[in-house]
Structure 1
Amino acid sequence: MLVTYLEASRDLCDTDSILFGVTLAVCRIIGAKISTAVRATGQSSAIPAWRRRIEERIAKARALIGRLICFTSGNNRPRIVRTVRMAFAGTKVSLSQPDIMQ
């Protein structure tokens, strides 16, 4: 039965899926325990750690920019104001300045 499926596979991805399914079936038949987490994490590790860190920093910067834009457009919700205060912490910028919206 395996030969039929392997001959019908079109590419390496199909062959990989077939072999993984067969391996899983055999492990269930013999009672061996297999972790599917290894397969999932193997694919996610293709992205280098440095790239993930940079993408996370970019996402945080975009969120901050979005909240700053909301603040300058007049949104004074507590979460927005708190974020703006944290963004300007350590600087000499005060939210009570009249030109803060610029």
Structure 2
Amino acid sequence: MPLENRPRLPRIPLSKRNRAVVWALNPMLVTYLEASRDLCETDSILFGAALAVCRIIGAKLPTAGRATRQNSAIPAWKKRIEDRIAKARALIG
């Protein structure tokens, strides 16, 4: 899955149950990580493992993720600056 289409994974709280799930999954990853050829493949393996942990734990995953963000949308910081400029111009005259 390309990096742009991956959903943002939530931080999972530290608990005994969550730690047990991660510890159970870690030995399974060894064979895949040893066979990985490059950094991109290693990244994909680790992302898949993290996604599996989130699903096992029941963490809420965003359905749309970053993939649906429109590139033409104006960022919030830019909109705030433009609003401040408009208010300043209105005060000036």
TM-score by length of 1: 0.36
Point out the structure with max Rg over C-alpha. 1
